């Protein structure tokens, strides 16, 4: 039990000439402790969907339940929901604004009504967990590198201690080193704290490597919802909607076409390595 999305529809500019059905008949259950990837091309409804999960957008029809409670109920505390479901937007570093890194991270917990000491403690912990060294705490966030800024922005959400962490393309524009840092950080949060993580991504390779379950969005609908292996079996259908399978999946398909008896449900480099060693070295012996 955690979040249930029940027959949710969302229409932008309803009743006008610009009406767009952004979400159509979405049914999802997100369980505690899951690590989920959402993929889909630009305009497929990914961002609209995640904004429903913490009540920033209200569904045109349908219901969303958080731990069994209807979030559209009059008595439901949406503020509390937003404390428990943290959302990191695209390019979150554009939202840094305080004079020091420490104050910026304190902003969220202070808003939750914590005392200065409590908020400070939270900020300290959050900054440490994203790997910002203490000597930077009282510097301006604007002097940091792109990857560091993004980690500070994520710390700002972590300091609110959410149960569910939703990130909209957290690695966009980062170099490979920065990308790995952020993804490893998120994985650690998931493993060590049991946090439910929902990751919106454009990189099939990253999604295949990190998440346990993939939700594919297309034209406002859920097209696939399964473990990576199963989802990437539909690579031809994914291509028709502007997505793809990871490079290694294609490699295995090509090798199989050439007559090498390899399994094609490989989605990561590590799996590909194991499978090729099994087939090639096994054959030789």
Partner 1 sequence: MNIIKARQLVHEYIRRDEEGNVESIQTALDHVDLDVKEGQFIAVLGHNGSGKSTFAKHVNALLAPTEGTLWVDGKDVSKEENILDVRQTAGMVFQNPDNQIIASVVEEDVGFGPENIGVPTEDIWVRVADSLKSVGMLKYRNHSPNKLSGGQKQRVAIAGVMAMEPKCIVLDEPTAMLDPNGRKEVLRAVKELNQKKGITIILITHYMEEVVDADYVYVMDHGEVVMRGTPREIFSQVGTLKEHHLDVPQMTLLADLLRQSGLNIPLGVLTREELVDAVMKIAE
* Interacting residues with partner 1 (CB under 8 A): 41-43, 145-147, 172-178, 202, 204-205, 242-244, 246-248, 250-251, 254-255, 258, 260, 269, 272-273, 276-277, 279-281, 283
Q: Do 224 and 214 meet the contact criterion of CB atoms below 8 Å apart?
A: yes
Minimum Å distance from CB 190 to partner 1? 23
Minimum Å distance from CB 251 to partner 1? 5
CA distances to 57, 95, 198, 243 from 214, rounded to whole Å, are: 22, 28, 10, 13
Nearer to partner 1, 81 or 96 (CB): 96
Nearer to partner 1, 61 or 138 (CB): 138
- For residue 211, give both structure tokens: 């998440």
Nearer to partner 1, 133 or 177 (CB): 177
Q: What is d(CA 228, CA 17) in angstroms, rounded to the nearest whole number? A: 38
* Residue 68, Ramachandran bin (φ over 0: left; ψ between -120 and 50: alpha; else beta): left
Minimum Å distance from CB 80 to partner 1? 34
Minimum Å distance from CB 221 to partner 1? 18
Q: What is d(CA 112, CA 123) in angstroms, rounded to the nearest whole number? A: 13
Q: What is d(CA 196, CA 264) in angstroms, rounded to the nearest whole number? A: 29
Nearer to partner 1, 11 or 241 (CB): 241
Q: What is d(CA 107, CA 142) in angstroms, rounded to the nearest whole number? A: 16
Minimum Å distance from CB 90 to partner 1? 9
**Residue 9 CB: number of other CB atoms within 10 A?**
15
Minimum Å distance from CB 230 to partner 1? 20
Minimum Å distance from CB 250 to partner 1? 6
Nearer to partner 1, 136 or 269 (CB): 269
Strand-pairing partners, residue 198, are 36, 166
CA dihedral 158, 164, 168, 172 (to 10 degrees): 50
Angle at 139 between CA 134 and CA 141, to 5 degrees: 105
Nearer to partner 1, 188 or 273 (CB): 273
Nearer to partner 1, 62 or 178 (CB): 178
């Amino acid at each position: 039990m955690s979040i249930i999305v029940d027959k949710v529809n969302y229409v932008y500019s309803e009743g006008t000439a610009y009406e767009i059905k952004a979400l159509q008949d979405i049914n999802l259950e997100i369980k505690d402790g899951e690590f989920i990837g959402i993929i889909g091309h630009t305009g497929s409804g990914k961002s609209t969907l995640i904004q429903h999960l913490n009540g920033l957008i209200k569904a045109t029809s349908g219901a969303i339940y958080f731990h069994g409670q209807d979030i559209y109920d009059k008595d439901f505390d949406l503020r509390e929901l937003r404390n428990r479901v943290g959302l990191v937007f695209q390019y979150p570093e554009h939202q840094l604004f305080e004079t020091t890194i420490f104050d910026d991270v304190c902003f969220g917990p202070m808003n939750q009504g914590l005392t200065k000491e409590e908020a400070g403690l939270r900020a300290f912990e959050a900054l440490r967990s994203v790997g910002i060294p203490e000597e930077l705490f009282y510097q301006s966030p604007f002097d940091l590198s792109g990857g560091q800024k993004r980690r500070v922005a994520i710390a700002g959400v972590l300091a609110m201690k959410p149960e569910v962490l939703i990130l909209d393309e957290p690695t966009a524009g980062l170099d490979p080193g920065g990308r790995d840092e952020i993804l490893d950080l998120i994985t650690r949060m998931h493993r060590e704290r049991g946090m439910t993580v929902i990751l919106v991504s454009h990189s099939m390779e990253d999604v295949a490597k990190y998440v346990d379950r993939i939700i594919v969005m297309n034209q406002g609908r859920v097209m696939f919802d399964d473990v990576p292996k199963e989802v990437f079996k539909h690579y031809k259908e994914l291509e028709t909607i502007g997505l793809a399978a990871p490079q290694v999946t294609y490699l295995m398909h090509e090798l199989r076409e050439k007559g090498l008896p390899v399994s094609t449900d490989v989605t990561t480099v590590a799996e590909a390595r194991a499978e090729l060693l099994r087939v090639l070295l096994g054959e030789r012996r």
